[in-house]
Chain A
Amino acid sequence: MLIVVCIKQVPDTTQVQIDPVTNTLVRDGIPFIVNPYDTHALEEALRLKDRFGWKVAAISMGPPNAEGTLKKALALGVDYAILLSDRVFGGADTLATSNVLAAAIARLNAEVDEVGLVLCGKQTIDGDTAQVGPGIASRLNYRQLTLVDKIVSLDLSAKKIRVSRKLEGRHEIVEAPLPAMLTVVRELNRPRYPKVQMRLAAAEAVVEVWSNKTLQLNEQKIGLKGSPTWVSKIFSPERVKGEILGDGYADPTGTAALLIEKLMAKDMLPL
């Protein structure tokens, strides 16, 4: 049985700025990280590997430098790491992205081993759409279990999975037959830390790259051409510059008084 984890390289959003002229993210010099939700998907896959001896494949669609993200997955213990990279994949929206990822999963299913589970983060922190996981499930006709915060049970003989979904203010326990696609939330687990030996091995490892020559997808279904949605503008909300009151270090009492006065004047202190 094979578990496929979809991971994405995203810019470290705490460090992202928007170019005021072009309205695009300034990516120069911004470090990339593995999408945080995906790290939980990866961890869960590795735990299932530890428990059942399944193999884990990590796949990622992105530019050639997304190899780093897959090397991180290799350092954590995945068995296969495949980068889906091709100029024709570029500019994809969630639909086009899910087409490529689904095709890769289908290929793994055919050539490596039967895919039992696909794990994705619930969303990425750069796009925030939460659509790619469900998109993959639809393309592959897998059951989709979103917002999973716990795998309650996994019945291998009956090929059934039961999970807990984290919803607003409540949990939902649902069951589905395998193969299934899960999107996961942070509460699912605590990701492991890579061992140095594994990091060194991962650094030397060659990440397999699949282009569209490998996947042979219709170019109308992928990349910019296959994307019915496009981003017309990105902007930061205007933020009014704050005001500095007094000197809190030299005169904390006086400064506190100033603040109280200010808040009272704005009627922001309930009395």
Chain B
Amino acid sequence: MIPDPSLFAPLLLASLAIFAWGCWKRLSLLSLGQPEDRCDNIGTRIGDMLRYAFGQKRVIAKPFGFNHFIIFWSFIILLIANTEFLLHGVFPSVSLTKLPDSVLLPLLLLLDIVSLLALAAVTAATVRRAVKPPYPEARTLEAFFILFLIGTLMLAYFGMNAAKISAMEDGARALARTWMPVSSFFAGMVPAATGSSVYGISWWGHALALLIFICYLPNSKHMHILTAIPNCFLQRLGKPNTQPREEFTIGNSFGVDRVDRYSWKDLLDTFTCTECGRCQNVCPAGITGKPLNPRAVIHDIKVNLLENGSALKKGAVPSTPLIGEGGEGSVSEGAIWSCTTCGACMEACPVFIEHMPKIIQLRRYLVESEAKFPEELLNLFENMEGRSNPWGIAPSERTKWCAQLDVKPFDRDTTEYLFYVGCAGSFDSRNKHVSVAMTQLLDRAGISWGILGKDEKCCGDSVRRLGNEYVFDKMARENVAMFIERGVKKVITQCPHCFTTLKNDYRQYGLELEVIHHSELLRNLVQDGRLAIEKTTRDMGTTVFHDSCYLGRHNDVYDAPRAVIEAATGQAPAEMGRNRSNAFCCGAGGGRMWMEEHVGERINLTRVNEALEQGPDTICVACPYCMTMFEDGLKDVKAENVRVRDVAEVMAEALLR
């Protein structure tokens, strides 16, 4: 049973061949994807890789993630021991023992302790998966098998060392007790007579576990060991909430209905997913019973790629449809339309998989190439294209909200800011109050501002997130041309959807605007003393703040609205269980505002109930969609004594009443 190179060497070569074949089989499929540049700003990318891959920053954001941190670093450190093991198996003269003691002994100590930590971590992971899995479907044979393999490796490592130590002379054994304490502990259990057979069994156990691991790795979800680090390096440097443009010329295809229409990075994402389930645990659609599971979407794209890959390589028609009934390898239309584009999945993903852009590509295909979408959207699309607002109200009504007010038109020479009121602020009867409050606050602070009035058009956020890129493109071009013609440089928005579209999406059209969300502006004005609050308002009672996805997660504005509320009320708003980057969507993003919610629990009710747990008198929002969703939700749960106020209204309450 003593290691025999003539037996081991062919096994190792065969395993390495299987490993290489598996890697090639999968990674060569990436060449099917569309080109995309992910190698700019190398410095930033290396920083991200160090922070997120090696530092495991997002992994350890969840308590159990520390367990993975241990396994990850154990794996890295034990690469030394395992490399030595493999080389030693083929060339018996290769051994760490050739190192000088000053290096060898600390190294042995490190390997000894790390192996123990790894053993403890895989044990904890196994127990957790069995007793309280991260998500219900997580108890897969694959997951337990890989944990079993790692556990076997560690035990076998101790077995080999213990056998060696038990055969040592007293002096060496004393040294081992210091530098290999764990192995020495196990050595106590090895009767001297059985030493060599224990060594042989352990060695071969270790060898087989390692070889199986090598063969299995590129053919399983554990391929993330190879792809996660590059995926962190290759992540989108900007926020992935801004979708790429499409070019509208005859002969182009629009959206994605085949895996090879995704970019190579989209495909790499699917090989990077370890199915940890964090995305599915934060998805507002999935949690409330909709047929969307972001983990499954990524998995299905991977399965589709593996099934269709060889056909696609030959230029043949793929057999498994990418958009289908939702069997493995297909994404259902129900899933595609359930997404609120809240971005929680992408925020939760430890390895920066970009779920939402992939879903939007599928929407684009359905809308643009098939004209197939939930029927509620027909009116929306026509209203947006024909009248540039979601409700189809006559554009001439856009200024009705300020008919009684003295509001000036924007003029490049006399006004500094464009107040881009937005469709909700212009047409929605509840949200008009926010617009009015804003005008009063702007005037009070002495800001020089104006509006586009009847010439203002919708920013196009909803149509873009719904995949109607053709209409968005038209709207964006018109708006960008108008902004340039009017000399608009600085814009105030009171809607996070306008905010993100003007700020991030229009940049793709060559327009660099300085866009400020009203919560940021109000915070700045308070800080500068231009809005001096003499007496904080008590009328709001206790407040709780709800983060809008497009303000928070998609644009990292978390503090400003809270600061406004605190300045106006004298007290920081209460926080819901899920807040800031973990905040739970109101249900209206991604065009869901304009769609019915037939399946499962209503997302807004889930969020309203979460807000009510804080016992607020006022729920504060910074987004017109959130406003609508909360007002509707409060009526549904009959909590009509609780108010919803935009941060501007809260500020106006303190300053103007």
| Known contacts A12-B387, A31-B386, A192-B371; A199/B470 CB under 8 A | yes
B129 at the interface (CB under 8 A from A): no
Determine how close the nearest CB of chain B comes to the CB of A85; give it in whole angstroms. 24
Is B369's CB under 8 angstroms from A197's CB? yes
Nearest-neighbor residue (CB-CB) of A197 within chain B: B369
Q: Mark A194-230, 1 if CB is under 8 A from B, else 0.
A: 1111011100100000000000000000000000000
A residues less than 8 Å from B64 (CB atoms): none
CA distance A190 to B392 in the complex (A): 17
B605 → chain A closest CB, angstroms: 25
B381-399: which residues lie under 8 A (CB-CB) from chain A? 381-382, 386-387, 392-396
Chain A residues with Cβ below 8 Å from B470 are 196, 199
Tell whether, in the assembled complex, residue A33 and residue B386 are in contact, meaning their CB atoms are under 8 Å apart. yes
**Contacting residues, chain A, for B248 (C-beta < 8 A):** 196, 200
CA of A191 to CA of B433, assembled, Å: 36
Provide the residues of chain A in CB contact with B396, threshold 8 Å: 15
The answer on a CB contact under 8 Å between A200 and B375 is: no
Which single member of B368, B375, B395 contacts A190 (CB below 8 Å)?
B375
A195 and B368 within 8 A (CB):
yes
Contact A200 B369 (CB under 8 A): no
* A195 lies within 8 A of B386 (CB): no
Interface residues on B, range: 20 to 34
Q: A14 at the A/B interface (Cβ < 8 Å)?
A: yes
Q: How distant is the Cα of A191 from the Cα of B375 in the complex, in angstroms?
A: 10
**A15-B394, A31-B386 in contact; A195/B250 too (CB < 8 A)?**
no
A52 proximity list for chain B (CB < 8 A): none
Option from B378, B392, B393, B395 in Cβ contact (under 8 Å) with A193: B378
Q: In the complex, how many angstroms separate the beta carbon of B540 from the nearest chain A beta carbon? A: 15
Complex interface: chain A residues within 8 A of B381 (CB): 193
B430 to chain A, nearest CB (A): 10
A15 to B371, CA, bound (A): 28
CB distance from B363 to the nearest CB of A (A): 13
Q: Is B499 an interface residue (CB 8 A)?
A: no
Q: How far is the CA of A201 from the CA of B381 in the complex (A)?
A: 20
Q: How far is the CA of A200 from the CA of B396 in the complex (A)?
A: 30
Task: Give Cα A249–Cα B657 distance, bound, in whole angstroms.
Answer: 13
Known: A12-B386, A190-B378. A200 touches B249 (CB 8 A): yes
Interchain nearest-CB distance for A215 vs B (Å): 32
- Residue pair B250, A197 in contact (C-beta under 8 Å): yes
Which chain A positions have C-beta within 8 A of B393?
14
Check if B370 is an interface residue, CB within 8 A of chain A.
yes
Q: Does B254 contact A (CB under 8 A)?
A: yes
In-complex Cβ contact of A249 among B371, B392, B395, B433 (8 A): B433
Is there an interface contact between A195 and B371, defined as CB atoms closer than 8 Å? Answer: yes
Chain B residues with Cβ below 8 Å from A33 are: 386
B369 is contacted by which of A15, A190, A192, A196 (Cβ under 8 Å)? A196
Say yes or no: A194-B371 contact (C-beta < 8 A), given A199-B470, A200-B249.
yes
Q: What residues of chain B lie closer than 8 Å to A194, measured between beta carbons?
A: 371
B387 neighbours in A (Cβ, 8 Å): 12, 14-15
What are the residues of chain B within 8 A of A200 when measuring CB–CB?
Answer: 248-250
Beta-carbon nearest neighbor of B393 in chain A? A14
Q: Which of B329-388 contact A (CB under 8 A)?
A: 367-371, 373, 375, 378, 381-382, 386-387
B375 touches A196 (CB 8 A): no
Query: A15 and B395: CB pair below 8 A?
Result: yes
Distance of B36 from chain A, by nearest CB (Å): 22
A106 to B402, CA, bound (A): 55
User: What's the least CB distance linking B259 to chain A, in Å?
Assistant: 21
Across-interface contacts of B250 in A (CB, < 8 A): 197, 200-201, 204
Using Cβ atoms and an 8 Å threshold, which residues of chain A touch B371? 192-195
**Complex: chain A residue closest to B471, CB-CB:** A196
Task: Name the one of B369, B378, B392, B395 contacting A195, with C-beta atoms under 8 angstroms.
Answer: B369
- A-side contacts of B367, CB under 8 Å: 193
The 5 closest A-B pairs by CB, nearest first: A196-B368, A14-B394, A193-B371, A196-B470, A200-B250
Sample (23) of A-B pairs whose CB atoms are under 8 Å apart: A12-B386, A12-B387, A14-B392, A15-B387, A33-B386, A190-B375, A193-B367, A193-B371, A193-B373, A193-B378, A193-B382, A195-B369, A196-B248, A196-B254, A196-B368, A196-B369, A196-B470, A197-B250, A199-B470, A200-B249, A200-B250, A201-B250, A204-B250
Residues of chain B whose beta carbon lies under 8 Å from any beta carbon of chain A: 248-250, 254, 367-371, 373, 375, 378, 381-382, 386-387, 392-396, 433, 470
Can you add 14 more A-B contacts, CB < 8 Å, to A15-B396, A193-B367?
A12-B386, A12-B387, A14-B393, A193-B371, A193-B373, A195-B368, A195-B369, A195-B371, A196-B368, A196-B369, A197-B369, A200-B248, A200-B249, A204-B250
